[in-house]
Amino acid sequence: MSAAPRGPAVELANLTATHQRHPAVHHVTARFAPGSLAAIVGPNGAGKTTLLRSIAGLHRVDEGRVVLSGSRARVALLPQQSGMDRSFPILCLDVVLQGLWSRLGAFRAAGGAERDRAQAALEAVGLGGFARRPVAAMSAGQFQRLLFARLLVQDADLILLDEPFNAVDARTAADLLAVLRRWHGEGRTVLAVLHDLDLVQREFPDCLLLAREAIACGPTAEVLSAANRLRARRMAEAWDEAAPACAA
């Protein structure tokens, strides 16, 4: 990383995002430096997905702000797979080409250059021979590789990944992790929601420990101290139906 990172800094200032007025992310203040490779960890129901969606602008922010330095930063989000129709009749190459939406939009045709780029992305995730394969024939791991290829083509400055290594085998996880390192090397900002703390400690320099509120944010080794992890585990998962309006 000789040049200045191309990824934006991500600043969360007193961020609160709710589901039916109950906070999923509560007064979170944290900062990720430009080009950081950071993990977001925390127990189930800690608000990790909601936080990612808020950063991507897909979840309404009730209070506080998300600030990306460099206002024209392109953002890409890899959600958990639930909403996708994996039986849809579409070929792998066409899925990767969707990553060019911000440039091609609804109407412009994908030319040779775009197809070459999509093919190169498929090869980068180990799916070189899959261009003409329908997605319905893909396994869960192959499908996740395919979504990474689409992310590669999106060429975003800030990449948000929601549990990217779920349901993939060790080899696929290792390959996809290599893609993450490549993005990091290119100076993009990468935030990934993860559950595997060993992986986080091994591969992610920075970390946000979230339990609806930010328990700690910073260098991974400090954030994942035993004391912090204990505090995160104490988070009550259930909504308090009788909770009064928050005064903070």
Q: How far is the CB of 229 from other proteins (least distance, A)?
A: 31
Minimum CB distance to other proteins smaller for 38 or for 77: 77
What CA–CA distance (Å, rounded) separates 208 from 162? 14
Q: How far is the CB of 69 from other proteins (least distance, A)?
A: 20
Residue numbers at the binding site for other proteins (CB under 8 A): 56, 58, 75-77, 79, 83-85, 88-91, 95, 98, 101-102, 106-107, 134, 136, 150
Contact 118, 95 (CB under 8 A): no
Q: How far is the CB of 85 from other proteins (least distance, A)?
A: 6
Minimum CB distance to other proteins smaller for 29 or for 88: 88
CA dihedral 214, 220, 222, 228 (to 10 degrees): 40
Q: How far is the CB of 220 from other proteins (least distance, A)?
A: 27
Minimum CB distance to other proteins smaller for 89 or for 112: 89
Minimum CB distance to other proteins smaller for 81 or for 119: 81
What does the block give as tokens for 167? 């349901």
What does the block give as tokens for 8? 């934006």
Contact 38, 206 (CB under 8 A): yes
Q: How far is the CB of 56 from other proteins (least distance, A)?
A: 6
Strands (E), 33-185: 37-41, 63-68, 75-78, 158-162
Minimum CB distance to other proteins smaller for 79 or for 187: 79
SS3 content of the chain, % helix, strand, coil (to 5): 40, 25, 40
- Amino acid identity for residue 181 in this structure: R
